[in-house]
């Protein structure tokens, strides 16, 4: 970048940097700066009576400067929040040389620069807790102006940094300038850590399985393709890790889970990012009914850990995460919202019913897919409070065990909250002969034109042939769960760096 392309403000900051160097001060010092407290700690615990915090050392970014001559106020922002500092010329420059105050602090330090200060806490005439500064150290210089959001007395907002494109592309600026963004990501971290704690307390093992897979099994989605040079073979970025986790159950672990990125080469919108975080867990000797209770306990625990309550306001609805959740079979849910019992309908009758409901159909759709279409169109959006939909048609679910008593169905549930799928679980299919047949059925669907049909994984079948205990498995979309628990409406707002097109120039 040439000097000519810099904005006026960038040029000024580079000149200020140079002038600081010329006064003999290093604007990017190498040595550590030892803080002894934080802005939040002082705010929480300062007590004028006790006269505490008389030797504080803090560091952060300058967010505002109010210069008044021989004394000034500024605000600095650390990881915990803002605090005001009071800088008096003759206190930071006790001798004849007033350069540090007159030149460096007043003129050469800009909003966005990192400084460290030593001093004591006090309250100003107007009652604002501040740090009376005795020593001031430059820790790092900012060369670009930071848009600091301010609200004036009439409530007008100045300098808001709101353009979604800019916020996502320059998340580092967004995080500095919009404090509520940090809070969302702190909660995201807490959701992940509390979920791990919940599982770890039950002695289930966190594991890692391959991201690069030769066969993209375990789900139906278009994958990203890549290539390994030394092996000279194509690989896919995983669309799911289900088949690997089940191999570990075959191997003798009785509870394994993985929290990790999945990659799907498909459309992007408010609820889809090409890479997203999923949690999958498999527990041996359990079934999907047990799993429903586990999920209720787990989500209740996480909600409490993250928000201190099991209730969350979202889209004007108060969602209650404490169980038990409503349970409804897929057929029951369709009957409830269309008034029609479809459980006995043949594929042709189902297709006719779809037309009656004005749902578009095509010949590649089997009976299961048609049911799914009706469900998606008529039922899904109504499921605001956490609701389990159970017992799915067999042909849509090639990895789940046949229902213990209901013909043509599998033991599966999905959890819906606020009209969106949050979790998906099965009593896992562990009969290798049945599993092979299901893969074969998928192949038939693919021949009919269903491009979402699942791919056969011969090694996975081999593992089942060695024997897998009865197992229940669950997947949760962590990004969508985070959206719910943090009140966000776009997946981009719960990802630090959402995928975007390349920036021009």
Partner RNA sequence: GAUCGGUUAGCUCAGCUGGUAGAGCAACGCCCUUUUAAGGCGUGGGCCCUGGGUUCGAGCCCCAGACCGAUCACCA
84: contact with RNA by CB under 7 A: yes
CA pair distance 420, 398, nearest whole angstrom: 22
Name the residue nearer to RNA (CB basis): 87 or 306: 87
Per-residue string for binding with RNA, 275-314, x by CB under 7 A? ----------------------------------------
CA pair distance 78, 199, nearest whole angstrom: 33
Task: Assess contact for 473 and 479: CB atoms under 8 A.
Answer: no
Question: Which part of the chain contacts RNA (CB under 7 A), choosing from 159-167, 248-256, 315-323, 350-358?
Answer: 159-167
Question: Which part of the chain contacts RNA (CB under 7 A), choosing from 140-148, 251-259, 312-320, 456-464?
Answer: 140-148
Task: Assess contact for 145 and 111: CB atoms under 8 A.
Answer: yes
272: contact with RNA by CB under 7 A: yes
Looking at residue 428, what DSSP letter applies? B
16: contact with RNA by CB under 7 A: yes
For residue 150, the minimal CB distance to RNA (Å) is 5
Per-residue string for binding with RNA, 38-77, x by CB under 7 A? --------------------------xxxxxxxx-x----
Please give the residues from 91 up to 110 whose contact with RNA meets the rule CB under 7 A.
107, 110
Name the residue nearer to RNA (CB basis): 148 or 298: 148
145: contact with RNA by CB under 7 A: yes
> Which of 332, 325, 246, 317 has its CA nearest to residue 282?
246
For residue 107, the minimal CB distance to RNA (Å) is 5
Task: Assess contact for 176 and 77: CB atoms under 8 A.
Answer: yes
Among the listed residues 113, 174, 280, 372, the single contact to RNA using CB under 7 A? 372
Among the listed residues 31, 34, 47, 154, the single contact to RNA using CB under 7 A? 154
Please give the residues from 167 up to 206 whose contact with RNA meets the rule CB under 7 A.
168
CA 426, 431, 432, 435 torsion: positive or negative? negative
For residue 505, the minimal CB distance to RNA (Å) is 8
Among the listed residues 2, 8, 49, 50, the single contact to RNA using CB under 7 A? 8
Name the residue nearer to RNA (CB basis): 218 or 323: 218
Q: What are the structure tokens assigned to 106, written together?
A: 């007043």
For residue 65, the minimal CB distance to RNA (Å) is 6
Per-residue string for binding with RNA, 431-470, x by CB under 7 A? ---------------------x------------------
Name the residue nearer to RNA (CB basis): 73 or 253: 73
Q: Hey, which bits of 2-154 come out as E strands?
A: 56-67, 71-78, 81-88, 114-123, 129-140, 150-151
Cα Rg, the chain, nearest whole Å: 29
Question: Which part of the chain contacts RNA (CB under 7 A), choosing from 117-125, 226-234, 403-411, 463-471?
Answer: 117-125
Phi and psi at residue 328, to the nearest 5°: -145, 135
**Residue 70: exposure state from Cβ atoms within 10 A (0-12, 13-18, ≥19):** middle
For residue 22, the minimal CB distance to RNA (Å) is 15
Site for RNA (CB under 7 A): how many residues?
Answer: 73
For residue 151, the minimal CB distance to RNA (Å) is 6
Among the listed residues 31, 152, 232, 344, the single contact to RNA using CB under 7 A? 152
Is 373 part of any known ligand binding site? no
Name the residue nearer to RNA (CB basis): 241 or 301: 241
CA pair distance 455, 440, nearest whole angstrom: 9
**What are the distances in angstroms from CA 55 to CA 36, 58, 93, 138, 318?**
9, 10, 18, 19, 46
162: contact with RNA by CB under 7 A: yes
Please give the residues from 390 up to 409 whose contact with RNA meets the rule CB under 7 A.
396-397, 399
Is 414 part of any known ligand binding site? yes
Residue linked to tokens 């850590």: 193
Q: Hey, which bits of 271-330 come out as E strands?
A: 275-284, 311-314, 317-320, 326-329
CA pair distance 485, 302, nearest whole angstrom: 9
In terms of C-beta distances under 8 Å and separation of at least 24 residues, what long-range contacts does 316-323 make, across chains too?
317/384, 317/385, 317/418, 319/384, 319/385, 319/386, 319/417, 319/418, 319/484, 320/385, 320/386, 321/386, 322/296, 323/293, 323/296, 323/297, 323/299, 323/386
**430: Cβ–Cβ under 8 A, 6 or more apart, which residues?**
401, 464, 467, 468, 469, 470, 471
Among the listed residues 24, 267, 316, 363, the single contact to RNA using CB under 7 A? 267
> Which of 36, 41, 1 has its CA nearest to residue 118?
36
Residue 251: helix, strand or coil by DSSP?
coil
Per-residue string for binding with RNA, 329-358, x by CB under 7 A? ------------------------------
Among the listed residues 183, 266, 458, 459, the single contact to RNA using CB under 7 A? 266
Name the residue nearer to RNA (CB basis): 303 or 428: 428
Among the listed residues 18, 45, 124, 189, the single contact to RNA using CB under 7 A? 124
Name the residue nearer to RNA (CB basis): 303 or 464: 464
Annotated binding site for Mg(2+): 414, 421
Annotated binding site: 414, 421
């Amino acid at each position: 970048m040439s000097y000519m392309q810099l904005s006026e403000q960038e040029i000024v900051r580079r000149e200020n940097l140079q002038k600081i160097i010329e006064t003999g001060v290093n604007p990017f010092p190498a040595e550590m700066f030892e803080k002894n407290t934080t802005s939040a700690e002082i705010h929480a615990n300062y007590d004028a009576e006790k006269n505490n915090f008389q030797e504080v050392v803090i560091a952060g970014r300058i967010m505002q400067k109010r210069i008044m001559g021989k004394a000034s106020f500024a605000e600095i922002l650390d990881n915990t929040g803002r605090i005001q500092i009071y800088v008096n010329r003759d206190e930071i420059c006790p001798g004849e040389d007033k350069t540090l105050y007159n030149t460096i602090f007043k003129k050469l330090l800009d909003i966005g620069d990192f400084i460290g200060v030593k001093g004591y806490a006090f309250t100003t005439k107007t009652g604002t807790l501040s740090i009376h500064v005795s020593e001031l150290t430059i820790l790092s210089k900012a060369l670009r102006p930071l848009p600091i959001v301010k609200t004036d007395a009439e409530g007008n907002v100045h300098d808001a940094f709101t353009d979604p494109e800019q916020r996502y592309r320059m998340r580092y600026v967004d995080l500095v300038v919009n404090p509520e963004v940090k809070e969302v990501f702190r909660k995201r971290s807490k959701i992940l850590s509390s979920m791990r704690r919940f599982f770890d307390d039950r002695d289930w093992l966190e594991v890692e399985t391959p991201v690069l897979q030769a066969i993209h099994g375990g789900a139906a989605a278009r994958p990203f393709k890549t290539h390994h040079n030394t092996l000279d073979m194509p690989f896919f970025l995983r669309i799911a890790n289900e088949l690997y986790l089940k191999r570990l159950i075959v191997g003798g672990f009785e509870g394994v889970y993985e929290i990790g990125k999945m990659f799907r080469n498909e459309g992007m919108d408010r609820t889809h990012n090409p890479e997203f975080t999923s949690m999958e867990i498999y527990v041996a000797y359990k079934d999907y009914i047990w799993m429903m209770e586990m999920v209720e306990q787990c989500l209740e625990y996480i909600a409490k850990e993250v928000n201190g309550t099991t209730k969350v306001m979202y889209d004007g609805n108060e969602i209650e995460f404490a169980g038990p959740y409503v349970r409804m079979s897929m057929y029951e849910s369709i009957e409830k919202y269309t008034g029609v019992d479809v459980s006995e309908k043949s594929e042709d009758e189902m297709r006719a019913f779809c037309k009656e409901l004005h749902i578009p159909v095509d010949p590649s759709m089997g009976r299961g897919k048609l049911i799914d279409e009706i469900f998606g169109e008529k039922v899904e959006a109504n499921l605001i409070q956490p609701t389990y939909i159970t017992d799915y048609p067999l042909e849509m679910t090639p990895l789940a065990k046949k229902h213990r008593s209901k013909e043509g169905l599998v033991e599966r549930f999905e959890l819906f909250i606020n009209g969106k799928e949050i979790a998906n679980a099965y009593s896992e299919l562990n009969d290798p002969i049945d599993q092979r047949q299901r893969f074969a059925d998928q192949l038939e669907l693919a021949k009919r034109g269903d491009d979402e049909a699942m791919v056969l994984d011969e090694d996975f079948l081999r593992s089942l042939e060695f024997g897998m205990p009865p197992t229940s498995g669950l997947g949760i979309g962590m990004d969508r769960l985070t959206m719910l628990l943090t009140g966000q409406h776009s997946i981009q707002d719960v990802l630090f760096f959402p995928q975007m097109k390349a920036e021009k120039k």
